[in-house]
């Protein structure tokens, strides 16, 4: 197959039409009016429109860039392609394939320009752009054996064995029902991952509470209770010794308790499939705080919530505040949304029809499958988590490398349907949590603005799940003293950034944090413009802050649990071992 023939549809689709539209808008239905007729498989929704002057500008720009690209190809002067999908030597060695890569990237940019300029409400435009991006990524020439010179070269050099192994890999993944993105045989929970020593000292139908063994001779009197997200396994915070957040906290002389959420299964008949948001607050977070107080003998504990765990934690503390109870001396929220005004790319999945569908689906209980959640998150970064693995695993027949974070990512959890339906409506759809009294939790009006506990807020600058500006918005919702820290990288890699590796950087704004510039404190752009960058991990900054709320140091106790809450089993416990099928 001549790869240049594949590009003809793209070039024809994006070339300006001979006659200008007569109406005030260029309608995308029929497709010819928007210049999309030649793109195979693209069927834009009826009514999508681009202003004719803007469409003409985009088409003219494409024509100029196309002509320049063809000129460079004719002169043999094509620049190297920086996109990692086309960075292999085989792409550079083949002028036809190098031209195809450049043409694809030019066409992709142009199509996204068109999506960005459709005259529809912002929400609809974002949905169109997301759908366009999915189609563009799926149609990359690197994803097809007939168009990928790297895969073809490997096929030839291996005598066809690469394709044979790729078929085996594909069949194995079909059996598992998901794409393999790491060598899962390299890790075993409790043996090579989630190995920090400790014990389960409490369990109920929703969670186990792990108390970790101190590793310093002296510890601070006030312990830390960690609430991880219930949509993932807790051991993202305890991967291996050199990148374990739990172990790092222990090394700072902090006693640590951690919630290990149960993974509900379709075979469970004890009522967990009917669990609600209120259940997770009352019998989950609040119960965990109570047990940690009873075991530690402290009236107050420090608290930390990660992602959805942070939303659960803040909600639970607000419920306790409404009851006149204040068990938390401090709160840490990592990549957490309390104000859901801007939820990033996830907003394209949320609308009233979807919320009503879920409410009807889970009216009598049931489970939202881990596979559905996993697919959703994978297609937020399709090139990294989908198509890269398609190319390597199937076209090239390679075995995925061993990567602890990706092992965790593949170990998904199911969610009780009623819990998910309530969460979807009250957060992503209606943003009710930020409005005092708009919703009730555990029979009480919810008011997060009553929380005056000192709070450490962390956001990741490149987070596509919790935009850092939305994590920053909690500084305006919470009434207590807050310290906001912005880390480099994304939702997970930004958080799991151990000082051992001395990687990346983070930003702090001491002037705003100290209250010297209250006007700047309300504006995230002003915050980042006046912030200073600090090299390395943000963990030491957090540890310094946490110690100021952790009380005096005392001799560490080696025995875990107490008479009221004896040790049940060794960490990491049974609950984390349950696999969603």
pLDDT per position in the chain (581 positions), as tens?
A: 344 444 444 445 444 443 333 333 333 322 232 333 333 333 444 556 788 899 999 999 999 999 999 999 999 999 999 899 999 999 999 999 999 999 999 999 999 999 999 888 888 888 888 889 999 999 999 999 999 999 999 999 999 999 999 999 999 999 888 888 888 889 999 999 999 999 999 999 999 999 999 999 999 999 999 999 999 999 999 999 999 999 999 999 999 999 999 999 999 999 999 999 999 999 999 999 999 999 999 999 999 999 999 999 999 999 999 999 999 999 999 999 999 999 988 888 889 999 999 999 999 999 999 988 888 888 888 888 899 999 999 999 999 989 999 999 999 999 999 999 999 999 999 999 999 999 999 999 999 999 999 999 999 999 999 999 999 999 999 999 999 999 999 999 999 999 998 889 999 998 755 444 444 468 899 999 999 999 999 999 999 999 999 999 999 998 999 999 999 999 999 999 999 87
**CATH 3.40.50.1820 matches 198-369+414-577:** yes
Burial letters 446-480, b for 16+ CB under 10 A, else e: bbbeebebbbbbbbbbebebbbbbbbbbbbbbbee
Report pLDDT for 366.
96
Q: Which residues contact 500 (CB under 8 A, 6 or more apart)?
A: 242, 243
Give the residue numbers marked as catalytic: 307
What is the rounded distance in angstroms from the CA atom of residue 228 to the CA atom of residue 232? 8
Q: Return d(Cα 334, Cα 311) in angstroms, integer.
A: 10
What is the secondary structure of 186-207 as a DSSP string?
G--BTTTBS---EEEEEE-SSE
Nearest in space to 419 (alpha carbons), one of 207, 201, 200, 177 = 207
What's the pTM value of the predicted model, to 2 decimals? 0.87
H/E stretch holding 320 reads helix 308-322
Which residue(s) pair with 345 in the sheet?
A: none
Q: So what's the pLDDT on residue 48?
A: 63
Q: Going by C-beta distance under 8 Å and a sequence separation of 6 or more, which residues neighbour residue 13?
A: 35, 36, 37, 38, 39
Pairing of strands 440-441, 482-487: unpaired
Task: Round to whole Å and give the CA distance between 457 and 210.
Answer: 24
Domain boundaries, the chain: 3-151, 198-369+414-577
Total residue length of the chain: 581
């Amino acid at each position: 197959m001549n790869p240049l023939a594949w590009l003809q549809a793209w070039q024809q689709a994006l070339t300006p039409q001979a006659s200008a539209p007569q109406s005030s808008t260029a309608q995308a239905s029929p497709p010819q009016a928007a210049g999309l007729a030649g793109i195979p498989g693209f069927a834009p929704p009826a009514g999508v429109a681009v202003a004719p002057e803007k469409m003409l500008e985009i088409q003219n720009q494409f024509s100029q860039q196309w002509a320049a690209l063809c000129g460079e190809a004719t002169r043999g002067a094509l620049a190297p392609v920086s996109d990692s999908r086309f960075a292999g030597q085989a792409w550079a060695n083949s002028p036809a394939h190098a031209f195809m890569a450049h043409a694809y990237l030019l066409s992709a940019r142009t199509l996204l320009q068109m999506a960005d300029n459709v005259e529809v409400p912002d929400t609809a435009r974002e949905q169109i752009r997301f759908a366009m991006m999915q189609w563009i990524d799926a149609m990359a020439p690197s994803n097809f054996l007939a168009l990928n010179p790297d895969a073809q070269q490997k096929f030839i050099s291996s005598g066809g064995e690469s394709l044979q192994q790729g078929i085996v890999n594909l069949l194995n993944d079909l059996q598992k029902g998901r794409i393999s993105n790491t060598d899962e045989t390299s890790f075993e929970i409790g043996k090579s991952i989630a190995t920090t020593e400790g014990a389960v000292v409490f369990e109920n139908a929703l969670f186990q509470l792990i108390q970790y063994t101190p590793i310093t001779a002296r510890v601070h009197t006030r312990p830390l209770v960690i609430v991880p997200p219930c949509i993932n396994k807790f051991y993202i915070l305890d991967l291996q010794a050199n990148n374990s957040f739990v172990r790092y906290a222990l090394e700072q002389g902090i006693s640590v308790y951690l919630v290990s959420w149960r993974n509900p299964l379709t075979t469970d008949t004890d009522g967990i499939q009917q669990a609600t948001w209120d259940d997770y607050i009352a019998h989950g977070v609040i119960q965990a705080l109570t047990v940690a107080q009873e075991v530690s003998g402290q009236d107050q504990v420090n608290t930390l919530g990660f992602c959805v765990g942070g939303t659960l934690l803040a909600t639970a503390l607000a419920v306790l505040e409404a009851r006149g109870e204040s068990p938390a001396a401090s709160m840490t929220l990592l990549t957490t949304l309390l104000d859901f005004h801007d939820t990033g790319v996830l907003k394209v999945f949320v609308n009233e029809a979807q919320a009503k569908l879920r409410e009807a689906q889970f009216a009598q209980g049931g489970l939202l499958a881990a596979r559905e959640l996993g697919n959703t998150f994978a297609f937020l970064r399709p090139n990294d988590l989908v198509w890269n693995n398609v190319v390597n695993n199937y076209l090239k027949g390679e075995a995925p490398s061993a990567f602890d974070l990706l092992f965790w990512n593949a170990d998904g959890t199911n969610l009780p349907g009623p819990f998910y339906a309530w969460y979807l409506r009250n957060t992503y759809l209606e943003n009710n949590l930020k409005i005092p009294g708009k919703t009730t939790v555990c029979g009480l009006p919810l008011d997060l603005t009553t929380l005056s506990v000192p709070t450490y807020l962390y956001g990741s600058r490149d987070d596509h799940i919790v935009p850092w500006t939305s994590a920053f918005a909690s500084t305006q919702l919470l009434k207590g003293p807050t310290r906001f820290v912005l880390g480099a990288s994304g939702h997970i890699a930004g958080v799991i950034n151990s000082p051992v590796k001395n990687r990346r950087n983070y930003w702090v704004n001491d002037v705003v944090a100290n209250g010297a510039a209250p006007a700047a404190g309300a504006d995230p752009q002003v915050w980042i413009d006046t912030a200073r960058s600090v090299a390395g991990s943000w963990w030491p900054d957090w540890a310094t802050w946490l110690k100021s709320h952790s009380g005096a140091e005392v001799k560490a106790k080696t025995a875990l649990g107490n008479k009221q809450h004896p040790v049940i089993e060794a960490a990491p416990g049974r609950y984390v071992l349950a696999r969603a099928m």
